[in-house]
Amino acid sequence: MADSESESSNNLNMPRCIGSKVVHLYGVDISRDEKENKRKKRKESLNNSRTRAAKAQKVHT
């Protein structure tokens, strides 16, 4: 019985999986939702293309 208690206390630093999300005990939220990840990547690529376009316009003017 003491072994299982010490084993669980050793795992306090490990993230715990709850459904499709992994909630880290330190408050770091690691989402495993693929749709959400794709949306974030798409948003980032849009932001990158906008900044590239803005830089290109500055260079031309």
Tens digit of pLDDT at every position of the chain (61 positions): 444 444 555 556 665 655 666 555 665 555 566 666 677 677 777 777 777 777 777 766 5
SS3 51: helix
Give the DSSP letter of residue 14. Answer: S
Which range marks the domain in which residue 6 is found? 2-60
Give yes or no for a contact between 33 and 22, defined as CB atoms under 8 angstroms apart.
Answer: no
Residue 34 CA to residue 4 CA, distance in Å, equals: 34
Cβ contacts of residue 15 below 8 Å, gap of 6+? 22, 23, 24, 25, 28, 30
Say how many domains are in the chain. 1
